[in-house]
Amino acid sequence: MSLLSLEGVKAAYDGVEVLHGITLSLEPSERLVIMGPSGSGKSTLLKVIPRLIEPSGGRIFFDGLEITAIRDERLLRRVRSRIGYLPQHYGLFPHMTVLGNVAFPLRVVRGLPRREAEERARRYLALFGVDGLADRYPTQLSGGQRQRVALARALAMEPELLLLDEPTSALDPESRLDVLEALFEVARMGKSMIIVTHELDFALEAADRLAFMEAGRVVAVGGPGEVLDSNPRIREFAERMAGAVGSASRS
C-alpha cells in the first residue's frame, strides 16, 4: 500500500484553480523530488497534503486514511502530527532559543516531559551540527543555521512523512552546501520525503523519483535522469537550473 496517494487533487485561490487534478503517490521510505518553474503549483501541492490549504476537489489518502474525508478537527490534528512540513522561510519562533524551538512541539504535540523533549531536541540538533547554538535565538543565526535548526525540529517529531518546500532557497552558496549535506543525511535515514527543490544534484543522487510540474499539472514522473531528459522543455529547465547553480557557486 502507498504511504500517500493523491487522486485528481485540485486547489484554487480566490476562485482561480492552481492545481488541475494532481494524481501522484509515494511509497514508504521513498524520496520524491518535485521540480518545475515558479508558479507551477509546487508549494501549493505540499500545503494541500496535510490540508493547510483545503483542496477544492479530489481525494488524498495517507496510510490508508482519506485525509480529505476528515471532518473532526482533533483527528485532523493527529494526522498532521504524523506529517512534518518545513516551509520555505523556516517558521522558527523568534522569542524562543534554538533548543526551545525544537523542544516546544515535542512537549505540546507529542506530550513529552520537558527533560525528555530537550534531550531529544539536543540529539537532533547534534545530527545537523547545530547543537552548539542551542542557547541562541533565531535572529542570531545565519540563514543556513536557521534552516538546519528547522530541519532538526521537523525530524525530532519523528514524522512518517516529511514535506520540504525549497529548503535551500535564498541561501548564500556556503549555507546552501551546508543545508544540502543535511538533506543528504536525512535521505540516508530512509525517511519518506517529498521535496520541492531546484537542486539537480540532490534530485539525481538522492531521489527515487522526480515529478515535473508546470501550470498546475504533473507533466512527467519517473526516475530523475529519465524525467530530466524526457522532453526539450524539461531539458531546457534543467540546463537553466544547472547554469544558475554554477553561477552562484562562482560568486
User: What single DSSP character describes residue 193?
Assistant: E
Q: Order of strands across the sheet with 65-66?
A: 16-26, 4-13, 57-62, 65-66
Cell numbers placing 102: 525544537
Alpha carbon 75 to its chain's center: 22
To the question of pTM greater than 0.85 for the whole model, the response is yes
Place of cell 485532523: 76
pLDDT at 60: 98
pLDDT at 21: 96
pLDDT at 18: 95
Least confident of 3-12, 26-35, 165-174, 239-248: 239-248
Helix (H, G, I), strand (E, B) or coil at 223: coil
pLDDT at 244: 62
Give the residue with greater pLDDT, 21 vs 174.
21
pLDDT in tens, 43-80: 999 999 999 999 999 999 999 999 999 999 999 999 99
Give the residue with greater pLDDT, 204 vs 250.
204
pLDDT above 80 (res 250): no
pLDDT above 80 (res 169): no
pLDDT at 188: 84
| CA atoms of 237 and 223, how far apart (whole Å) | 17
